[in-house]
Structure formats: C-alpha cells, structure tokens
Amino acid sequence: MNRFNQLSQIVSDSISCGPLYAIANNRIHSPVPLDPCENWDFWTKTKPEWLVSLLQTYPPEAKRKAYLAEMQARSHASGIEAHYDISNDFYALFLDTLYRFYTCAEFLSEQDTLEAAQTHKAEYLRELLNLEGDEKILDLGCGWGSMLKYLKDQGHRGEMTGFTLSQEQLTYDQQTLGLDVSLIDFITTPFEHSTYDRIYSIGALEHVRPSELKKLYQKIYNALVPDGLAIHQFFSFEREAYPISAVLMQIFFPGSNLSMHQKHLEFAQDAGFSITHDSIHDYKPTIKAWYERLVSNQEKALDIVGLEVYNRYATFFPFAWLFFQQHEAALHRVVMRKG
C-alpha cells in the first residue's frame, strides 16, 4: 500500500469507525512485523487524558450503534470462522500445551506458568460444577475441547457433549481428542429436547448478542434437570453498552458484541435461575502470557499464517489488555442454579 492509499484508508476508517479503529487497522497492515516491545508499549503505556478523551469520543454513540447493528446482521458462524479458523498450528504457538484453553487462566503467583494457571482455572471451574462423576454435561462453545479433556482426565464418567462453530476446532476435538463434539450454533439451535445435569460455557457468552441473551438463558434453564447448574465464565461490559472499543473489536471478532453484566444476571433470574456465585478475575496476566509466546514464535507464526494475520493478533492482545486495564469489561465466573 503506497503512502497516499495508506493515508486515504486512515481517513476513511477514522470517519466511519473512529481514529482508534483507524490506528489499529493501519498497524495491522504494516509492511513489516510489528516490533514486540514498541507494539506492547504503544497500546498499554499511559497516555495524556486529552488524547484518551479524544480517542473515546468519536464515533458518537448513535453511529456506533448503527455500525454494530450492521455487523451483527451476519451469521454467528462467519464471525467465529474469521477468528478461530486460522490454523490449529498457529494457536498452538501461544496457547497452553496441556489443554489449549483460549480463555482466562488463574495465575496464583507470578511464578506460575501458563500451563499451571490454566490448570488452576480448570480446577476452579470443576469445583463450581460440583460433580460427583456421572453427571450429563453440555459444553457450549467448547473450543479445542479444553475443559472436556480436563474433566475426562479427572475421571468424569458421565456423558459429555460439546458444541462449536469452528471447523478447525471440530476436527481437532474429534480426531485428536476423540470427544463428542458437534458443529452447532448453540445460540440459534434448540437443545431443550435433551436434559442435562450441568451446562457450562467458558468464553462463549461473549459471542451472544444482547438481543439473543434473554432467550438463551431461558433455553439453558429449560434444558437442565431440576436443581441443575449452569456455570459460565465470560467477560461483559461494566460501564456502558456501546463503548468505542466495541467498534474496534469488530476487527478481531466480526459480528460479536458484549452485553452489560447486569443484563446477564437479570435475564438469568427472569428465566428462573438463582445466582449462587459471581466472582471477578484478572484476565490481563493471561493476555500478556499469550502475547509473549506469540512474539517469541514470530518466525513460525509468519510461516503459518502470514504477515497480516500475525500483526492482527499482535495488535489484538495488547489492545485486549488495555480493554481490561481501563475496566471497560470484567471477567466473571457465575454459577446459576435451576430453582
């Protein structure tokens, strides 16, 4: 891209999606790999308040809402495929080597490895699931089968099923792990005909659009046995429903948009759930660990996915770190009991 075309793209992006979006998109299309240290500092270092205010003012809320509505007109599958169907080998460069969790880990100390932190998280969630060993379980948005594999390794005997919308993940889950996973959109597909003792999701409710949330919680409630549990790990907006970051995130997760956390609780309770646990956890150490592993494997990543995709993920991680640092969203683990 020559200098004139580059400037034209920046101006066009700034007008339609805001200067923050334009900056990110321009860096992603750099003709060379982003420098690891400069790139991390560019997004995460403290900036003057006037600059932060400017970047968070445009586009105005009405324009953000219109743009997000347009993006959410696409299918869930297309958005999931755009982010996840890159390459299993690419994700293996930065995810933990034990379970391939692409979700917030639980670092108990600065000495924890990513593998240890993800195992801590899995154990935390297993305790919330309150299992005796023979429960029938459904994993919504199961990814690379991480939690299903962990439960299997821990000796769970009951039937376990997973849903994903990623063909890459499905192939890995079925062929490498031998799990019972199907290519199903859990948001739009009925599953009330089956009854489960436990239904959980880890990093999947972020892809449920605000207009779909109420119906989904009712569907989950209906699919549980009496006194059954739903356990969800997800991040949600804390302060406003249409921040500038929601627009920029369309670069990385096209068609997805978060809901306010209060709406999650409200719709779950409307469905009949009792909220018995709601804790907040720090996503930033996990994001930093992924970034460090990605940039340390830069040459392999470039060979697997090419320059633009590498730069996109190298941009995504520090921006996501900043997203949580500024408390625009928080990572919750929530337990809901069918009353």
Domain ranges of the chain: 3-338
DSSP assignment of 228-242 equals EEEEEEEEEESS-SS
Residue 100 φ/ψ region, left for φ over 0, alpha for ψ in the -120 to 50 degree band, beta for the rest: left
- Give the contacts of 198 (CB within 8 A, at least 6 positions apart): 129, 131, 135, 136, 137, 138, 224, 228, 229, 230, 231
Domain 3-338 in this protein, CATH class? alpha beta
pLDDT at 53: 78
Mean pLDDT of the chain: 92
Distance CA 112, CA 265 (A): 32
For 292, other C-beta atoms within 10 Å of its C-beta total 15
The sign of the torsion formed by the CA atoms of 258, 259, 262, 268 equals: negative
Q: What is the mean pLDDT of residues 200-222?
A: 95
| Per-residue DSSP letter, 111 | T
Distance CA 321, CA 339 (A): 37
**In which band, very low, low, confident or very high, does the pLDDT at 204 lie, cut at 50, 70 and 90?**
very high
User: Identity (one letter) of the amino acid at 251?
Assistant: I
pLDDT digits over 100-122, tens only? Answer: 999 999 999 999 999 999 999 99
Q: What is the mean pLDDT of residues 194-206?
A: 95
Q: What is the mean pLDDT of residues 150-171?
A: 95
pLDDT digits over 22-51, tens only? Answer: 899 999 999 999 999 999 999 999 888 888
List the one residue out of 209, 336, 206 whose CA is nearest residue 276.
336
pLDDT at 86: 85
Cβ atoms 274, 337 nearer than 8 A:
yes
pLDDT at 4: 67
**In which band, very low, low, confident or very high, does the pLDDT at 148 lie, cut at 50, 70 and 90?**
very high
List the one residue out of 228, 245, 226 whose CA is nearest residue 237.
245
Per DSSP, the three-state class of 185 is coil
Q: Per mean pLDDT, which range of 80-89, 126-135, 240-249, 315-324 is the poorest?
A: 80-89
pLDDT digits over 244-291, tens only? Answer: 888 999 999 888 889 999 999 999 999 999 999 999 999 999 999 999
pLDDT at 1: 58
pLDDT at 12: 81
